[in-house]
Amino acid sequence: LAEWTSVAPDDCIRVYDQSLICAPIPVPRQNIICLGWNYAEHAIESAQSRQRDVKLPEHPIVFTKAVGSVNGPYDNVICDSAVTSELDWEVELAIIIGRKARKLSRENALEYVFGYTVINDLSARDLQFRHKQYFIGKSLDGACPMGPVITTADEIGDPQNLQLRSWVNGVLKQDSSTYFQIFDCAEIIHSLSQSMTLYSGDIIATGTPEGVGFARQPPEFLAAGDLVECEVSGIGRLKNRITAA
């Protein structure tokens, strides 16, 4: 041990196989809590693509993804064409709650954050819109790549100053900042804690910015062979290949 502790970190060579890295919370204790329409430009593109009037939310829009949707940061995402033909990408900052929280004020909400990670909230749009609510379309097995690490809250500092970007096959699709969230991280935690208890390890995906596939003209969806990358500054990048069932 003395020999190892005397080695400077910069002198160490780290060799690892990315395929062995799992999600930082591979089996959450409950569903992943998610925010919808939490960036104005995404709300606008979504409404316009479905020929609806644009109305920004006055309160957080909350839904969940099933525990079984969690996937590793570098794992393949299996897409069954018999289930969906409209798989879409969504880069998001996710909050990891650090301790039990209830009835928090906005001012102290961030004190309950352990850290932050990256999520790709993969969404089967055909299922999502067919079922008139989000759960089924958001909860396909493996449709929540997460990681590659949890960066602790003290290392992040201000969660409202992080860049989010996504790529499909090397082409930039989303490029925004958490600065543009309608409901910031403190407000999200405050709002949720008024009606439900948050527990250590709970995951809150804080919404995606503009640039998703279904809102493009013409719409774009993922297919077998596509490589999807999602990155949040200060945390890291997910790299997931779409494969056929």
> Global pTM?
0.93
In the predicted structure, residue 106 carries a pLDDT above the cut 50: yes
pLDDT digits (tens, 9 = 90+) for 74-87: 999 999 999 999 99
pLDDT value of position 234: 98
Per-chain mean pLDDT for the chain: 94
pLDDT value of position 8: 64
pLDDT value of position 228: 99
pLDDT value of position 1: 44
Beta bridge partners of 34: 63, 205
Question: pLDDT band at residue 53, thresholds of 50, 70 and 90?
Answer: confident
Structure tokens at 152: 């602790």
Q: Which residue has the higher pLDDT, 53 or 168?
A: 168
Tokens 């097995």 correspond to: 141
Q: How many helices (H) and strands (E) does the chain have?
A: 6, 14
Mean local confidence (pLDDT), 178-205: 98
pLDDT digits (tens, 9 = 90+) for 167-179: 999 999 999 999 9
The CA distances from residue 15 to 20, 117, 140, in Å, are 12, 22, 32
Mean local confidence (pLDDT), 45-59: 87
44 three-state secondary structure: helix
Q: Note whether 191 and 61 are within 8 A (CB).
A: no
In the predicted structure, residue 206 carries a pLDDT above the cut 50: yes
> What is the domain partition of the chain in residue ranges?
22-244
- Sequential DSSP letters for 126-140: HHHHHTTSSHHHH--
pLDDT value of position 12: 59
Q: Note whether 225 and 242 are within 8 A (CB).
A: yes
Percentage with pLDDT > 90 across the chain = 86
Q: Tell me the C-alpha distance between 71 and 77, whole Å.
A: 8
Which superfamily does 22-244 belong to? Answer: Fumarylacetoacetase-like, C-terminal domain (3.90.850.10)
Which amino acid is residue 173, in one-letter code? K
pLDDT digits (tens, 9 = 90+) for 2-38: 554 565 666 655 656 787 899 999 999 999 999 999 9
Q: What angle do CA 43, 44, 48 make, to 5 degrees?
A: 120
pLDDT value of position 18: 80
